[in-house]
A and B are shown apart, each in its own frame.
Chain A
Amino acid sequence: MKATRTWRAALSAFGWRHGVMANISLLGLPAVWFACLYLAAIGAMLVTAFWQVDDLSGNLIPGFSLSNFSVLVSDPIYRIIAVRTVFIAAAVTLADAVLAWPFAYAMVRLAGPKLRAVLMALVLVPLWSSYLARVYAWRLILAHDGVLNWALSAIGIPGVHIGYSNWAMWIVFSYLWLPFMILPIAAALERIPPNLMEASADLGERGLATFRRVILPLALPGMAAGAIFTFSLTLGDFVTPMLVGGTGSDFIGNVVYANVGVTNNIPFAAAYATLPLGVMAVFLLLARRLGAFDAL
């Protein structure tokens, strides 16, 4: 027992004396993981994007060819799918931001400890259940003879035809990713000292102006983090478009899926998959330009 304690103490003391070594020991394993599984995968994807597939044998032809990209640019269908994907990802992000702000604010600033726990559970509990189960549930809700239209007709409103449409995808995606917007905004709000709100009121600003001048700029990094989640999760999804989108509502992910699984054209799939990567990079640059990370 005594001996164990001694070498542990010695190790701690060594780490204390050599801060660099302590950092290396903490970051080493995650760094290896990151390099092998993450960067290597992206690297492989970027390289493969310039390969070709032999039409007859289906074998991969390594090399450097821009033909995958020229197909993507010349065939309008891929432009339509890309625009649809990005547009819905943006619409989902916007909807989630609008829904998340009041909810997060109420949870962090207004609710007592009990209500707060309940609200937090409401955010988290859906994440415990299967993604597929929840998307199928929405299929039943939004279908032509689904729960939504049944409820609408019960109160005398004519039914809506939003099952298997872009509207359905927008609603389901917004529902799916809402927790990922609420949690970072709530965390950011929590870090704002409450007396800043009092100071703002004291200096003559009412609630909405205080939100605009104090709360929004200070919690913006939280919203940026949430937006990265909602935007990128939507951008990369292919299951929800498949289940609730219906025909003619393919996402980039569906094309990638089809090329990997059905047509076995992995280089083409890799080429198309670079697009979300580029879109995310532009998104992050824009967010930084807007000052989203200034308060970090």
Chain B
Amino acid sequence: MAVDQQPEAAKRPIISMVGVAKAYGGAVALENLDLTVFAGEFFTLLGPSGSGKTTTLRLIAGFERPDSGQILLDGTDLAALPPFERPVNTVFQDYALFPHLTLIENVAYGLRARKMPKREAHALAQAALEQVRLGQFGTRKPAQLSGGQRQRVALARAMVNQPRVLLLDEPLGALDLKLRHQMQEELKRLQHESGITFIYVTHDQDEALSMSDRIAVFSQGRIEQVGTPFDLYERPNSAFVADFVGSSNLIGSAHDRLLRPEKIKLLPVPAALPDGHEGQTGVLHQATYLGALTRYIVRLADGTEVQAMEANILPLTDRLRLLPGDRVLAVWPRLAITPVQISTAANIDNQGEVE
């Protein structure tokens, strides 16, 4: 896509989807999708539910068949290959571990499917379990594990097969926040060590930003933008992307100038406009203490409401620096403004803000 300015010539495409479309009954899940993933990349499919990201993953895995278009792996069309003949493996959203098998047997499942002798397969499975720090649990059954541990078994079970591409379908969705952050780091480490291409589905923008080399933002069966986390956050090419990746203020008479909340500074009036900045006076409408940050909502003089985020650098005692009703001067660096297309702005209304 236009914003993706990576030196792509140096990279080797591993998955190419060309003109892929998929509908269920009358409902269009994907329309005319083009997507290229490069070898060794951590590539994320990001979007709200029903945007087509999981369908895309299932098409690559072979659980669904496209209505039209091509899916190439290393230049070979996968169309005729059933899932069990594709050199890709999936980490399922709810893990899909085999409840009647021990962890070792679960992890060795794919190796045994390829007729590897049991002793050898179990040795590799043991090594894979050790890699996800579950080496001592090999003889347990999945029911005896916590959610985070099951997640790691699912990961080991897929990775032990050394797939050309590893597909991960919202693998951390069921975990609590702390564990999710741990697992994010672990996933990055495993991806780095193995060199396997990861295609990762999530609706969590923080997860996408913190883990991905590149991200494709999905909306209503289409890709809105593909780019690095920087690209998407700093230079979104549509109002939808701006709002879905981070929170956004759209200012200006045409509502086509993006201003991120953390780039706004609120000064108590009277105050002078600093150099290189622009700004407007306004009235503080709402102030919410979030711990590390305080979120302010300001009604500007021209009637626009903007959100401002302020890091709580100094310890706060019992009151915020500014309170609702205060008159403020909201200022921001001129360079902080990014123009965006508003053609898909209609999406914002029904998608809302994603935490």
B-contacting residues of A (Cβ < 8 Å)? 193, 195-196, 198-206, 209, 213-214, 217-218, 294-295
Q: 8 Å CB contacts to A: which residues of B62-93? A: 62-63, 82-85, 88-90, 92
Say which residue of B88, B94, B110, B113 sits within 8 Å of A195 (CB atoms): B94
Chain B residues within 8 Å of A203, by CB: 84, 89, 109-110, 113, 157-158, 161
Is A202 in contact with B89, judged by CB distance below 8 angstroms?
yes
The 9 sampled A-B contact pairs (Cβ below 8 Å) are: A195-B92, A198-B63, A198-B83, A200-B98, A200-B109, A204-B161, A206-B82, A218-B99, A295-B100
**A193 proximity list for chain B (CB < 8 A):** 94, 96
Q: Verify A204–B114 contact, CB threshold 8 A.
A: yes
> Which B positions have Cβ atoms within 8 angstroms of A?
61-63, 82-85, 88-90, 92, 94, 96-100, 109-110, 113-114, 157-158, 161
Name the residue of chain A whose CB is nearest to the CB of B113.
Answer: A204
Which A residues lie within 8 Å of B90 (CB)?
198-199, 202
Complex alpha-carbon distance, A132 and B197, angstroms: 66
**Do residues B84 and A201 form an inter-chain contact, with CB atoms below 8 A?**
yes
A200 and B84 CA atoms in complex are apart in Å by: 8
Closest approach, in angstroms, between the C-beta of A189 and any C-beta of chain B? 14
- The reply to whether B96 and A195 form a contact with Cβ atoms under 8 Å apart is yes
A207–chain B nearest beta-carbon distance, Å: 9
List, in ascending order, chain A residues with CB within 8 A of B110's CB: 203-204
Whose C-beta in chain B lies nearest to the C-beta of A216?
B100
With a CB–CB cut-off of 8 A, which chain A residues contact B96? 193, 195-196, 198-199
Which residue of the partner chain, among B84, B89, B157, contacts A205 with CB atoms under 8 Å?
B84
Taking a contact as CB atoms under 8 Å apart, the answer to whether B98 and A205 are in contact is: no
Q: With a CB–CB cut-off of 8 A, which chain A residues contact B62?
A: 201
Q: How far is the CA of A205 from the CA of B82 in the complex (A)?
A: 10
A192, closest chain B residue (CB): B99
Known: A201-B83, A206-B84. 5 other contacts (CB 8 A): A200-B98, A201-B84, A203-B110, A203-B161, A209-B113
Q: State whether A202 and B100 are in contact (beta carbons under 8 Å apart), knowing that A209-B113, A213-B109 are contacts in the complex.
A: no
| Residues in A whose Cβ lies below 8 Å from that of B114 | 204
Q: Nearest Cβ in chain A — how far from B316, in angstroms?
A: 46
How close is A136's CB to chain B, nearest CB, in angstroms?
A: 44
For the complex of A and B, list the 8 residue pairs with the smallest distance between their C-beta atoms, beginning with the closest.
Answer: A203-B110, A204-B113, A199-B96, A201-B83, A195-B96, A205-B113, A202-B90, A201-B84
Most buried by B among A193, A213, A218, A294: A213
B43 CB, min distance to chain A CBs, angstroms: 19
A218 CA / B99 CA spacing, docked (Å)? 8
Residue of A nearest to B94 (CB): A195
CA distance A123 to B12 in the complex (A): 56
B158 contacts which chain A residues (CB < 8 A)? 202-203
For A202, what are the chain B residues with a Cβ–Cβ distance below 8 Å? 61, 63, 83-84, 88-90, 158
Per a CB cutoff under 8 Å, which of A201, A209, A214, A294 touches B98? A214
B83 / chain A contacts, CB cutoff of 8 Å: 198, 201-202
Q: A204 and B84: CB pair below 8 A? A: yes
CB distance from A225 to the nearest CB of B (A): 17
Contact A218 B157 (CB under 8 A): no
Q: With a CB–CB cut-off of 8 A, which chain B residues contact A213?
A: 98, 109
Q: How far is the CB of B102 from chain A (nearest CB, A)?
A: 12
Do residues B89 and A217 form an inter-chain contact, with CB atoms below 8 A? no
How many angstroms between the C-alpha atoms of A113 and B158 in the bound complex? 33
Specify which of A199, A203, A218, A294 lies most central, judged by the most chain B CB atoms within 10 Å of its CB: A203
Closest partner residue, chain B, to A210 (CB atom):
B84
**Bound-complex Cα distance A195 to B62 (A):** 13
Q: Across the two chains, which residue of chain A brings its CB closest to B90?
A: A202
Contacts of B94 in A (CB 8 A): 193, 195
CA distance A199 to B158 in the complex (A): 9
CA distance A217 to B90 in the complex (A): 23
Residues in A with CB closer than 8 Å to B99 are 218, 295
Give chain A nearest CB distance to B80 CB in angstroms. 15
* Contact A199 B92, beta carbon cutoff 8 Å: yes
- Which chain B positions have C-beta within 8 A of A199? 90, 92, 96-98
Q: Are A201 and B157 within 8 A (Cβ)?
A: no
Measured CA separation A271–B82 after assembly (Å): 59
Instruction: Enumerate chain A residues within 8 angstroms of B61, measured Cβ to Cβ.
Output: 198, 202
Contacts of A204 in B (CB 8 A): 84-85, 110, 113-114, 161
Name the residue of chain B whose CB is nearest to the CB of A294.
B100
Say yes or no: B89 contacts A201, CB within 8 Å. no
Closest to A295 in B: B100
Neighbouring B residues of A195 by C-beta, 8 Å: 92, 94, 96
What A residues does B63 contact at CB under 8 A? 198, 201-202
Q: Are A217 and B113 in contact (CB under 8 A)?
A: no
**Complex Cα distance A209/B112, Å?**
11
List the B side residues contacting A217 at CB < 8 Å: 100
Q: Given the complex of chains A and B, what is the CA–CA distance between A292 and B260 in angstroms?
A: 61
For B82, B98, B157, the residue with the greatest tally of chain A CB atoms inside 10 Å of its CB is B98
Tell me which residues across on chain A come within 8 A of B85, comparing CB atoms. Answer: 204
Most B CB contacts (10 A, CB to CB) among A196, A201, A209, A214 go to: A201
Chain B residue, CB-CB nearest to A217:
B100
A201 neighbours in B (Cβ, 8 Å):
62-63, 82-84
Closest to A209 in B: B113
When C-beta atoms are compared, the residue in chain B nearest to A195 turns out to be: B96
For the complex, give the distance between the alpha carbons of A214 and B61 in Å.
20
Most B CB within 10 A of own CB, among A195, A206, A214: A195
Q: How far is the CA of A276 from the CA of B344 in the complex (A)?
A: 75
Q: Is the CB of B161 within 8 A of A196?
A: no
Q: How far is the CB of A55 from chain B (nearest CB, A)?
A: 58
B147 to chain A, nearest CB (A): 16
